[in-house]
Amino acid sequence: METPKIFESEYRFCLILWEHEPIKSGELVKLCREQLGWKPTTTYTVIKRLSERGVLKNEHTMVSSLVSKDAVQAAEIDELVEKTFEGSLPAFIAAFVRHQKLSPRDIDQVQQMIDRFREEEQK
């Protein structure tokens, strides 16, 4: 059977689960609040999603995992997300650096600028 893929954030959630399972869902919600900063509704949604995907099971409010830590493949999903990412963030959101296509030459040029600067400063 193929190991279910999970997102990085879900992976962090699973880390908590693996450490404390089997655990009452209510307590799990509290832990997620403390460690992840998740709202209770978020935790419940994630529990439901992961149980549908076969990563964990939720029986009579007791949550326990169905897959082991090693088996989980987080990295692949990471890439998938980028490909389906719809595009630019709405313009009114403050952002660090926006989507910008740099040609390899541009990349090199900028890198050179930085490198030269470092050298100058060290002198």
Partner 1 sequence: MTALFLQIVNLSISASWLIAAVLVLRLLLKKAPRWISVLLWGLVAIRLVCPFSIESALSLLPSASTIPSDILTDPSPSLETGIPALDRVVNPVIEHSFAPQPAASANPLQILLPVLAAVWAAGVVLLAVYAGVSYLRLRRRVSTAVRLRDNIFQTEQVVSPFILGVFRPCIYLPFSLDETTLSAVIAHEQAHIRRRDHWWKPLGFLVLAVHWFNPLVWLSYLLLCRDIELACDEKVVREMGAAQRADYSQALLSCSVRQNRLGACPLAFGEVGVKERVKRVLHYRKPAVYLVAFAVVCCLATAVCFLTSPRTDTDTPPASSTDEPASRTLPLTEQSAAECIAKTLETLTLHSDGTVSFSLPEELPVSGDGKTALAVNLSATFSDAPGSYSVQDLLDDRRGWNGGERFVGSLESERGELVGVTLGVFFWTEVDTDAYQMYAGDSRELTAPFNYDAPAGYTAPGLQFEQDGPALRITCRMRDGSEPKLSFTLPEGISAAESDGTEVYQLLLVQEGEPAGSVTLYPFGASDAETLAGVDTAASSLPMQIFSPVALSNHAGYEGYQVQRSWDSGCTATAQYVWQDLRASSGDAASIPWQQMDCVLAYDWNVMPYFVEILLDEEGLAADIADSVQLVS
Residues contributing to the site for partner 1 (CB under 8 A): 7-10, 12-13, 35-39, 42, 45-46, 77-79, 81-83, 85, 87-102, 106-107, 109-111, 113-114, 117-118, 121
Strand order across the beta sheet in which 23-24 lies: 23-24, 62-65, 56-59
Contact 3, 71 (CB under 8 A): yes
d(CA 13, CA 46) in angstroms, rounded, equals 9
d(CA 123, CA 121) in angstroms, rounded, equals 5
Output the smallest distance, CB 11 to partner 1, in A: 9
Output the smallest distance, CB 41 to partner 1, in A: 8
- In the bound state with partner 1, the residue whose beta carbon lies nearer, of 59 and 86, is 86
Contact 23, 62 (CB under 8 A): yes
- In the bound state with partner 1, the residue whose beta carbon lies nearer, of 71 and 80, is 80
- In the bound state with partner 1, the residue whose beta carbon lies nearer, of 47 and 67, is 47
Output the smallest distance, CB 106 to partner 1, in A: 6
- In the bound state with partner 1, the residue whose beta carbon lies nearer, of 60 and 96, is 96
For 31, list phi and psi in degrees, rounded to 5: -60, -45
